[in-house]
Structure 1
Amino acid sequence: MPKIWGDKIPPRNKNFTGREALLEQLHAGIASDVTAVVPHALHGMGGVGKTQVAVEYAWRYASDYDVVWWIAADQALLVPAALAALAPRLDLPPVKAVGIEDTAAAVLDALRRGEPSDRWLLIFDNADQPEDINRLIPRGPGHVLITSRNQEWRSVVDTVPVDVFTKGESVQFLHKRVSNSLQEADAQRLADELGHLPLALEQAGALQAEAGMSVEEYLQQLARHMPDTLQDPKPLDYPRSMTAAWRLSVSQLEQQMAEAVDLLRCCAFFGPDPIPVDVFRWGADGAGPGLQELLDKPLLRSKAIRVIGRYALAGLDPENRTLQVHRLIQALLRADLDDEEQDRFRKVVHRLLASARPGDPENEANWPRYSELVRHIVPSEVAFTRDPEVRDFALNMVRYLYRSGQHQQGLTFAGDFLRQWTLDSGPDDRHVIAAQAQMGSVQRELGDYPGAYETDRAAWERAKQVLGDEHEMSLFISQGLGADLRARGDFAEATRHEEQVLQAHISALGRPHLEVLNATNNLALDYALISNYTRARSMHEEVYNASSKRTDVSKVSHLIFWGNLVRVVRLCGDYEEACDLAEEAHAFGVKELDIEHWVTLRTAKDWSIALRRSGRYDEASALAQDVLERSTRLYGPTHPDTLAAAMNNANAMRTTGRINAAFDLAAQTMERYPGVYRPEHPYNHGCAGNLALMHRVRGDAASARKLNEQCLEALDDRLTRDHHYSLTVAINLASDLTALGELTRAQQLGDDTLQRTRQLLGETHPLTLGCAANLSVILRRTGSEDEADALLAGTLVHYGRVLGPNHPDAVVAREQRQLDFDFDPPPI
């Protein structure tokens, strides 16, 4: 067997019959593609046995492969999750570390490169949407097999038609399925009547084996049901003999156990994927007397499931405790009910899904249960429910998708629910508001900051109006809106907003509540963004200490709080303390989460910055490069975390003398920033300041001056001059002017910047010391030797106490060279 054998691969069919020429043709075709492997699609109508051929191919040729993976592809948006599930088996980061989309992309990239093996087989079953699935099919050294009813695959891949059984195969199958004693003539008559369709033959064989019905009697019964099929205007591309065979099986099932038929009809309104039998344990309101009795009695329920399986109306998997009804059977069952009955059974399924009790979607332990149910959301049309409990379940499903990293699917579900529920219940319905809130969260995680802001703002206003300011939904949305404001670059407005949010949380929930801790953390982020580092540090310490003592804080949240403390300690100028904190936090992330978990990577990036600030340039550069490579591979080049990692790496390369490479990376990153944040966002101007600095280091002080002047004007307008970002650019601009010989203006700017920096950050903050050291250089060049000596002497004393006399900044200051300062954008 292959080293990696997917747990979704169906068991081998002991009654599989014939298809030898088809399997040999398929294997020869795939194997002949030596240089560029082309996917192959098994194409044919429903019930013809495409999936069974794919199953047999996987088992028969398993030894040709190191990896065999099965993907249910009928819902295109869920295919990335199935691909991502392969990641840990390929030694790639798991889904919980980086999210579904990025993990799936990493899997596809590994398969294309043939790592860790080029002997792989991926089977996409029921892939009826080529336009959505094709982009998720790897083209590489391995093999891809597709099953589909859609003829459009012919223009995309090599297709292999799958037809009904030959007469010989039909007879052979019936001998296996019914009995070897079945007469050849009887088997041929039966096969001819059923059009040699494998699914119809399976139904007929199961019924005869179960009921002991003779072929003659079966054909008589089939003839009685056949006229009914001619009157049914069903839009199905199946032979009418299939409908007749199905009706006959259901009729016999009803005679043996009437309750089982209602259970089967219920299954018709789930998806065609495996249904966990546990969903039937809790019952459902409105199920009707017969079905409710069956649901309420475990022994009766188990018997009904077994009988359905024996009549081949559903496939049973005792090991995984699931049953699965073929989509053709589901379609026939639904079509046989009038609109009122369809509506009743659909509502029963909704209640069964909601009653399955998967638990809190924030808790990872409950994610496997949600994963079992997610594929039934769209087929069962949950978006059309008006049942409050079912809507609560639907919103929990969106939250699960968001927390587990399946953001695109979460956005789709949230959008579907929001649109339909608004039509059905109006914009003031609490579930409509909740769907809007969930949609805003997913939009923000996907990087759609403008969309998230508009969604959250509208939802918050509606929630306050309908539910009240202190309702938990209003409070939840208010936290998201604070993050939206930070993403817009409205730092002062975000701070005012989050101050009110924190007070509202305390008033409504009380200080010990976990959400109060989150609100406090968010406000501390705002204070750091307006350069109030002392207050931010105090609050982050409070949150971190409380988090360390509580048992209801997840490891992810704890590391987030820890990483925020690392950052603000470094921003306060305590570089060595920040290094120690970051090293410990990173070790925690690697041990408890994963080295490539998104929070661990953020912690590593902040550790790299702290190392650089402390003067340990080589260590910082190595770590920065590692974080950038991982972030790019996992998130792509335009993700906000990747952009921040790229800028950190450019800054690190500059400190280690790789100026040209640093300049190229900074310029490339600068071009990408406005695509994520608005053009006027302070991060864009801060990063442009880094590029300006590198212009001067490369000898182009004129370009540096021009760019720094633009950055400073924009930052002054956005943040005022009394902000860390503005002052950093002002210090560098003074150095540009000095290099250009404009000493008078350089001295004026240096004097003003030093006073402001002392006022904002304190006398001994490293940025203040660097500003003073640079000013002493300017004073010396203007002939103010005494003033320069006095300023330098005091500055060096402070350097010795704060960073140590051998810190690179202290050495540069002592040698009367000008210091350069860069910017690192923090996460929103």
Structure 2
Amino acid sequence: MTARQACAHNGVFRSFVNFGSIFCQHGEYSKAQKLVEYALDRREKVLGPDHGETLVTVTVNSLGILYTRQGQERYPEAEKLYERVRAVQEKVLGPDHSDTLRTVNNLANLYTRQGQERYPEAEKLHRRALARYVRVPGPHHIITLGTVYCLAIIYYKQGQEQYPNAEKLYNWALTGYEKVLGPNHSDTLAAVNGLATLYSRQEKKYSEAEKLYQRALAGWEKTLGPDHGETLRAVGNLAIFYSKQGWGRYPEAERLYKRALAGQQKVLGPDHRETLRAVNGLATLYYKQGQNRYPQAEGLYQRALVGWLKVLGPDHSDTLAAASCLATLYSTQEKKYPEAEKLYKQALSGYVRVLGPNHRETLRTVGCLATLYDSQGRHPDANCLRSEFRLTLPYDTKILVAF
């Protein structure tokens, strides 16, 4: 193949990858996967599997991002792809090359998605990239700020002890984005939202959280309009924040949830993931308001569960969470204990398969099912279940007993 022909092929392959990325951003994962996998297969045949300075590694990275977004069942495949790219890039380009560090950050983001057991690995990789970026291209460069933001997320997810570190990094990212990109750029507003979410976990900082959530919403409305997906996500975030503050703010939360839901149904469709999250959030708000609103909560929880099953399958974390939510609602109604038990068991078996017996969500579901047994006087069943999962724990069992 001549150099000219290779360039032509690269242009075609790049188009496949670009279109695949567009489909991925819109949640059309099957279409994206076909395009990117085809591009990867053809590039490997034309250029070789380990051609480090070509578009092969770009394609593999794109496929890794696609698998990451498809959920937990694809994480192992994504990890293999990222590791493959990193090995080639470190060998051909060097450990501090910008492309290598981009892959390092992608791998770190994948680890972050996998939960607390992999946070140390994610932190190590982001810190490696950040140390290089701070030197070149500098502490306020866009690439550096993106890594700072990702590292802030890891610290936030690790809980209260790491909140000071998370706050420091969120403020670093926010200040830098405001300076470089302006107050209403998407990256700036994402940092605003991240800091708001951090403050929303600290009751003393609720007022600051509210101001930041409102700023993010106003920024998205001004930049993208009232019905854009990012705007509606910001509406949902503010709804979640108000729903946590008790009866006094439930009316505001309900209004915002309904706005988000109406907009997402119109823009994204009734079965889109963001739409279903709004459905589930509104259901939870109704559940919190007591028996009079249980029928509304039940209908919405059922809709969310059916939607998740259709879109993501029975073992996705969102599907399992929806099953658990509906089970919790049924567990408050004696006549529906059998349905609650069935759903808790469905969620538990899924969590064990997908996340393992020691994961927090698995243990939370164990606790809920055991509590349901206790409420029926089935104490031997409850104790047997607790004992079974206690035996699998390599650490303190208080997390289980606390349910």
Q: TM-score range by the shorter chain?
A: 0.7 to 0.9
Alpha-carbon distance, 1:592 to partner? 0.4
> What is the aligned partner in structure 2 of residue 614 from structure 1?
289
The aligned residue for residue 123 of structure 2 is 457
Conserved? CA contact 1:548–1:558, under 8 Å: yes
Structure 2 counterpart SS, 1:594: coil
Shift of 1:497: 3.7
Among 603, 617, 624, the alignment partner of 2:301 is: 624
CA positional deviation for 1:608: 0.6
2:252 corresponds in structure 1 to 577
User: Residue 690 of structure 1 corresponds to which residue in structure 2?
Assistant: 368
- Tell me which residue corresponds to 2:92: 424
Match of 1:659 in 2: 337
Letter in 2 for 1:377: L
Contact residue 635 and residue 642 of structure 1 kept, 8 A: yes
Alignment-derived partner of residue 324 in structure 2: 647
Other-structure match for 1:495:
163
Amino acid at match of 1:613: K
Q: 1:370: how far off? A: 10
CA distance in 2, matches of 1:538, 1:705: 46
**1:643 touches 1:669 (CA, 8 Å); kept in 2?**
yes
2:208 is the counterpart of 1:519: no
SS at match of 1:618: helix
Q: Which of 579, 597, 601 in structure 1 is aligned with 2:272?
A: 597
Q: Which amino acid aligns with 1:587?
A: A
The offset of 1:607, in angstroms, is: 0.8
- Structure 1 residues 356, 598: closer, same or farther in 2, change over 3 A? closer
| CA distance in structure 2 between the aligned counterparts of 1:411 and 1:554, rounded to whole angstroms | 35
Q: Assess, with a 3 A threshold, how the Cα gap between structure 1 residues 553 and 439 changes in structure 2: closer, same or farther.
A: farther
Percent identity between the aligned chains? 20
> CA distance change for structure 1 residues 362 and 375 in 2, over 3 Å: closer, same or farther?
closer
- Mapped to 2, the partners of 1:682 and 1:527 lie a distance apart of 23
Match of 2:311 among 629, 634, 651: 634
1:551-590 pair list within 5 angstroms? 551=224, 555-573=228-246, 574-590=249-265
Deviations for 1:246-301, whole angstroms, at most 9, x for unmatched residues?
xxxxxxxxxxxxxxxxxxx45xxxxxxxxxxxxxxxxxxxx4xxx5xxxxxxxxxx
Q: Which consecutive residues of structure 1, in runs of 5 or more, have no partner in the other structure?
A: 1-264, 267-286, 292-344, 719-724, 730-828
Q: What whole-Å deviation, never above 9, does each CA across 1:738-767 have from its counterpart, x for those lacking one? A: xxxxxxxxxxxxxxxxxxxxxxxxxxxxxx
Q: Which has the larger share of strand?
A: 1
Query: Hey, what's the Cα distance between the residues in 2 that align with 1:533 and 1:653?
Result: 34
SS at match of 2:224: coil
Deviations 1:444-478 (A, max 9, x none): 66xx4468645532331221221215443343334
Residues in 2 aligned to 1:503 and 1:356: alpha-carbon distance in whole angstroms: 38
Q: Report the counterpart of residue 401 of structure 1 in structure 2.
A: 66
Q: TM-score, normalised by structure 1?
A: 0.39
Q: 2:270 touches 2:276 (CA, 8 Å); kept in 1?
A: yes
Give the match's secondary structure for 1:587: helix
User: Which residue number in structure 2 is paired with residue 541 of structure 1?
Assistant: 214
Query: How far apart are 1:416 and its partner, in Å?
Result: 3.3
Alpha carbons 1:374, 1:397 under 8 Å: kept: no
Cα shift at 1:432:
0.8
Which residue of structure 2 aligns with residue 509 of structure 1? Answer: 177
The structural deviation recorded for 1:544 is 2.2
1:663–1:426 Cα change, 3 Å: same
* Counterpart-to-counterpart distance in 2, 1:541 and 1:549: 12
**What is the CA-CA distance between 1:663 and the residue it aligns to?**
3.0
Distance 2:345 2:14 in 1: 51
Q: 1:548 to 1:495 in 2, by over 3 A?
A: farther
SS in 1 for 2:41: coil
Q: Distance in 1 between matches of 2:158 and 2:356?
A: 11
Task: Name the CA shift for 1:698/1:541 in 2 (closer, same or farther; >3 Å).
Answer: farther
Q: CA deviation at 1:650?
A: 0.7
1:620 partner letter? A
- Provide the C-alpha distance between the structure 2 equivalents of 1:401 and 1:665, rounded to a whole number of angstroms: 30
Change beyond 3 A, Cα 1:428–1:588: same
Question: Take 1:455 and 1:650, find their aligned partners in 2: how far apart are those partners?
Answer: 34
Q: Distance in 2 between matches of 1:678 and 1:696?
A: 24
1:72-107 deviation digits (Å, cap 9, x = unpaired): xxxxxxxxxxxxxxxxxxxxxxxxxxxxxxxxxxxx
User: Does the 8 Å CA contact 1:398/1:414 hold for their aligned counterparts?
Assistant: no
Aligned to 1:477: 147
The alpha carbon displacement at 1:359 in A equals 8.9
Note the C-alpha offset of 1:357. 10
Within 2, Cα distance between the matches of 1:576 and 1:705? 41
Pair 1:533–1:619, CA change in 2 (3 A) = farther
Per the TM alignment, residue 397 of structure 1 is displaced from its structure 2 partner at its CA by 3.8
Question: In the alignment, is the contact (CA less than 8 A) between 1:636 and 1:642 conserved in 2?
Answer: yes
Unaligned runs of 5+ in 2: none
Against the structure 1 CA distance between its residues 557 and 586, is the aligned structure 2 distance closer, same or farther, given a 3 Å change threshold?
same
| CA–CA separation in structure 1 for the residues paired with 2:383 and 2:39 | 60
8 A contact 1:491–1:530 mirrored in 2 = no
Higher relative contact order (CA 8 A, sep 6+): 1
RMSD over equivalenced CA pairs, Å: 4.5
Q: Which amino acid aligns with 1:465?
A: A
- 8 Å CA contact 1:612–1:652 kept in 2: the answer is yes
Q: Which residue type is aligned with residue 631 of structure 1?
A: W
Counterpart residue type for residue 299 of structure 2:
A
Contact 1:533 1:568 in 2 (8 A): no
In structure 2, the CA distance between the partners of 1:410 and 1:471, relative to structure 1 (3 Å rule), is farther
Does the CA contact (< 8 Å) of 2:167 and 2:198 recur in 1? no
Cα pair 1:646 1:666 within 8 Å, conserved: yes
Q: Give per-residue Cα distances to partners, 1:625-672, cap 9 Å, x unaligned.
A: 221122133323332211211111012223444123213422442454
Hey, what's the Cα distance between the residues in 1 that align with 2:125 and 2:339? 46
Give the structure with the higher percent helix. 2
Find the aligned partners of 2:385 and 2:198 in 1 and give their Cα distance. Answer: 27
Residue 705 of structure 1, CA deviation: 10
How many pairs does the alignment contain?
A: 374
Deviation at 1:498, TM superposition (A): 2.8
Aligned to 1:669: 347
Instruction: Please give the alpha-carbon distance, in whole angstroms, between the structure 2 residues aligned to 1:671 and 1:528.
Output: 32
User: Against the structure 1 CA distance between its residues 682 and 514, is the aligned structure 2 distance closer, same or farther, given a 3 Å change threshold?
Assistant: same
> 1:640, 1:614 → 2: CA distance?
26
How far, CA to CA, are the matches of 1:539 and 1:642 in structure 2?
30
1:414 to 67, 75, 82: 82
Q: How does 1:662-811 map to 2 (within 5 A)?
A: 662-670=340-348, 672-673=350-351, 683=361, 686-699=364-377
CA distance in 2, matches of 1:555, 1:662: 37
How many angstroms apart in 2 are the aligned matches of 1:396 and 1:466?
21
Secondary structure of 1:377's counterpart equals: helix
Q: CA deviation at 1:396?
A: 7.6
